[in-house]
């Protein structure tokens, strides 16, 4: 049984505590199908999230099978299912692949046969068997709602929370979904709570909970709804609610609650007697709602709970799914190919300027002063020409690889935030999720960096240690990828993450000091945070002696040692991963 006792959830706005859920008390027995209705902004979704544990209750207590969820442990991921209003599946995947991934992430299976049986059963329960090979992007609204339910049912949850799963559907699809939820509530004593704005098909529910400004205005049988509010039609309930203050409705409900609870108990007893509902305990039909004792025997279902898959299993599932999504995203694949081909070509366009010879001073001492001056001017001209070209080309590579890194990861987490938060609620380990992202992005980083290094070295020879230069290109790409991954993990939306990542790349060139030396007080502050500087400086230090001297003759800024550059870029990578871990671990439900 699920019990709420004076549950309150408040938010602070302008220094004032505003209750979104206000002193809600009710009892929901197993095998019960309840609708949570009310006008917009009345606290329906807030109440559902409070039950789910997404909103921590400010006051009161929630009990599940006799245990206080705040003191004795919250729902386990397999005990509860939460179906949000938005789609929780990836468009490039098929229905079967989506359900399979959800199963692998939430349930530890003994073998592939058990896994297949679970998937087939869930598809059959939700009516998706005949369309299991269709891609999510071509599904109708009703079919996507069924898929959302299927992905929650893989763990056989004892309580299923549905948030506006019928919104935006045509009347036929809406009734089909409500019928499906009704049938699901009759299996294994499952409680189904459905938030809905619609007042259609209420006869299919066992009880109706009406909220008004976060308070309970009614909870009873659907056939008593119009009688209680003294209206002729259910569509008149919302206007009727607006005629009185929520406190008045809540006070009135307190006087009639016992009688309506008795009606619910009688209805439940009739369902059990007729065989339409299986009794889950000897007192399930008669236990009062508000007067139930706080301390009861522990539920025996704890031993029957399914176990979550391990880290490695979740990691492999996520990595396999990510590569499948990437390979089916034609736009992303073409973009990556275009970047790999075009960016190195852009660099080699300027390679001729950097391949010129640098004159050396003659070994014999010039006796003619004019000849000495002319020789010095020629050497300096060659140094300026080649040095500036080499420095610019190296910085061009570094900035292009920084741009690649930003493109790799700026949207990687923020772009799938709703799905990730939902899967994390279902038992996904943030460590497995982040590790799968790092593994996927590492493949992109290695391919992009090494291809850039090999291509430019072949068509425009790098005049220095190729291995060291390739290493710094790899490090700057990895550094920018990890930093932008952190931004993606910390931001709520993909648009915010993309914009901030673009700004970050845009400031790499002017703040690096490679093109124009900055004032020392500014340079000392910005340089530690600029990945481009450390990759450029390390690559310059790997140049041949003569070319290195040419670069230093035109760059009026200090160069760091290769070891310092290596440590700085490694620190950027570590800092990015730590921030990404922090962002992906903390809950960020919208």
Assigned domain for 341 exists = yes
Distances 117 to 28, 122, 132, 386, 566 between C-alpha atoms, Å: 31, 9, 14, 68, 52
Assigned domain for 53 exists = yes
Same structural domain, 281 and 319: no
Q: Is 442 exposed, middle or buried (0-12, 13-18, 19+ CB in 10 A)?
A: middle
Residue that the structure tokens 């240690």 belong to: 465
Q: Are 39 and 241 spatial neighbours (Cβ–Cβ below 8 Å)?
A: yes
Assigned domain for 140 exists = no
Domain boundary among 271, 296, 321: 296
Assigned domain for 348 exists = yes
Rg (CA), the chain: 32
Q: What is the pLDDT of residue 143?
A: 92
Same structural domain, 270 and 343: no
Assigned domain for 242 exists = yes
Q: Is 81 helix (H, G, I), strand (E, B) or coil?
A: strand
Same structural domain, 243 and 323: no
CATH code, domain carrying 72: 3.40.50.300
Residue that the structure tokens 């949000």 belong to: 84
Q: What is the pLDDT of residue 549?
A: 60
Same structural domain, 281 and 321: no
Q: What is the pLDDT of residue 526?
A: 75
Assigned domain for 539 exists = yes
Degrees, nearest 5: CA angle 555-559-565: 140
Same structural domain, 337 and 286: no
pLDDT in tens, the chain (590 residues): 899 999 999 988 888 889 999 999 999 999 999 999 999 889 999 999 999 999 989 999 999 988 898 888 888 888 999 998 877 899 999 999 999 999 999 999 888 999 999 999 999 999 999 999 999 999 998 999 999 999 999 999 999 999 999 888 888 889 999 999 999 998 888 999 999 988 888 999 999 999 999 999 999 999 999 999 999 998 899 999 999 998 999 999 988 899 999 999 898 888 888 877 776 554 444 444 444 444 333 333 433 567 899 999 999 999 999 999 999 999 999 999 999 999 888 888 766 665 555 555 454 555 555 655 555 555 555 555 555 667 777 888 888 999 999 999 999 999 999 999 999 999 999 999 999 999 999 999 999 999 998 888 777 655 667 888 899 999 999 999 999 999 999 998 999 999 999 988 888 777 766 555 666 667 777 778 889 888 888 887 877 665 656 566 566 556 778 899 999 999 999 999 999 999 999 988 76
Rounded Cα distance, 388 and 420, in Å: 47
Q: What is the pLDDT of residue 537?
A: 83
Total structural domains within the chain: 2
Q: What is the pLDDT of residue 291?
A: 41
Same structural domain, 195 and 336: no
Domain boundary among 296, 320, 347: 296
Of 257, 222, 78, which is closest to residue 155 (Cα–Cα)? 78
Same structural domain, 488 and 522: yes
> Each residue of 158-190: b (16+ CB within 10 Å) or e?
bbbbbbbbbeebeeebbbbbbebbbebbbeebb
Q: What is the pTM of this model?
A: 0.86
Same structural domain, 321 and 414: yes
Same structural domain, 478 and 453: yes
Strand ranges in 175-264 using DSSP code E only, listed in sequence order: 191-195, 207-212, 215-220
Domain boundary among 270, 296, 322: 296
Assigned domain for 219 exists = yes
Same structural domain, 473 and 383: yes
Assigned domain for 149 exists = no
Same structural domain, 462 and 515: yes
Sorted by sequence, the CB contacts under 8 Å of residue 519 that are 6+ apart come out as none
The tokens describing 10, both together, are: 């408040």
Same structural domain, 545 and 573: yes
The tokens describing 355, both together, are: 């391949």
Residue ranges making up the domain that contains 348: 311-585
The tokens describing 15, both together, are: 């220094």
């Amino acid at each position: 049984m699920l019990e709420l006792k004076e549950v309150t959830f408040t938010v602070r706005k302008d220094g004032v505590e505003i209750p979104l859920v206000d002193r809600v008390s009710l009892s929901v027995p197993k095998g019960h199908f309840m609708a949570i209705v009310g006008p917009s902004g009345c606290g329906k979704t807030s109440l559902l999230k409070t039950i789910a544990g997404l909103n921590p209750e400010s006051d009161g207590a929630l009990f599940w099978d006799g245990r206080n969820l705040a003191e004795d442990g919250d729902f386990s991921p397999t005990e509860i299912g939460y179906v949000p209003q938005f789609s929780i599946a990836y468009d490039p995947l098929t229905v079967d692949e989506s359900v399979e991934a959800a199963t692998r992430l939430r349930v530890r299976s003994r073998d592939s046969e058990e896994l297949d049986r679970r998937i087939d059963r869930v598809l059959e329960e939700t009516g998706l068997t005949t369309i299991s090979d269709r891609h999510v992007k071509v599904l109708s609204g009703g079919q996507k709602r069924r898929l959302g339910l299927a992905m929650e049912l893989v763990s056989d949850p004892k309580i299923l929370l549905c948030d506006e799963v019928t919104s935006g559907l045509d009347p036929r699809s809406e009734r089909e979904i409500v019928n499906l939820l009704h049938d699901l509530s009759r299996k294994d004593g499952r409680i189904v709570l459905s938030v809905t704005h619609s007042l259609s098909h209420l006869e299919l529910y066992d009880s109706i909970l009406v909220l008004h400004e976060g308070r309970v205005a009614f909870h009873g049988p659907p056939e008593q709804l119009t009688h209680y509010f003294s209206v002729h039609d259910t569509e008149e309930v919302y206007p009727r609610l607006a005629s009185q203050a929520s406190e008045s409705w809540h006070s009135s409900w307190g006087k009639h609650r016992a009688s309506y609870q008795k009606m619910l108990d009688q209805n439940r007893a009739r369902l059990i007697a007729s065989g339409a509902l299986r009794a889950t305990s000897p007192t399930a039909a008669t236990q009062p709602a508000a007067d139930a004792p706080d301390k009861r025997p522990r539920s025996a279902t704890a031993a029957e709970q399914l176990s979550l898959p391990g880290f490695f299993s979740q990691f492999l599932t996520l990595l396999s799914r990510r590569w499948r999504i990437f390979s089916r995203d034609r736009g992303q694949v073409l973009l990556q190919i275009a970047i790999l081909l075009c960016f190195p070509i852009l660099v080699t366009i300027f390679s001729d300027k950097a391949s010129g010879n640098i004159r050396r001073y003659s070994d014999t001492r010039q006796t003619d002063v004019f000849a000495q001056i002319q020789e010095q001017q020629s050497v300096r001209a060659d140094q300026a020409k080649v040095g500036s070209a080499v420095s610019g080309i190296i910085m061009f590579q570094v900035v292009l690889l920084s741009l690649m890194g930003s493109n790799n990861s700026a949207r990687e987490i923020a772009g799938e935030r709703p799905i990730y938060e939902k899967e994390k609620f279902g038992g996904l380990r943030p460590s497995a999720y982040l590790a799968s992202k790092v593994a996927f992005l590492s493949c992109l980083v290695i391919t992009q960096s090494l291809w850039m290094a090999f291509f430019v070295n072949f068509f425009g020879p790098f005049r220095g240690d190729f291995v060291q230069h390739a290493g710094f290109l790899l490090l700057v790409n990895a550094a920018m990828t990890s930093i932008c991954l952190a931004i993606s993990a910390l931001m709520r939306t993909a648009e915010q993450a993309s914009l901030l990542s673009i700004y970050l790349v845009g400031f790499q060139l002017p703040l690096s000091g490679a093109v124009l030396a900055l004032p020392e007080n500014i340079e000392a502050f910005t340089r530690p945070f600029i990945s481009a500087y450390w990759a450029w400086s390390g690559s310059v230090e790997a140049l041949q002696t003569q070319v290195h001297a040419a670069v230093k003759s035109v760059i009026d800024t200090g160069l760091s040692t290769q070891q310092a550059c290596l440590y700085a870029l490694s620190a950027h990578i570590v800092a990015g991963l730590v921030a990404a871990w922090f962002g992906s671990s903390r809950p960020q439900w919208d």
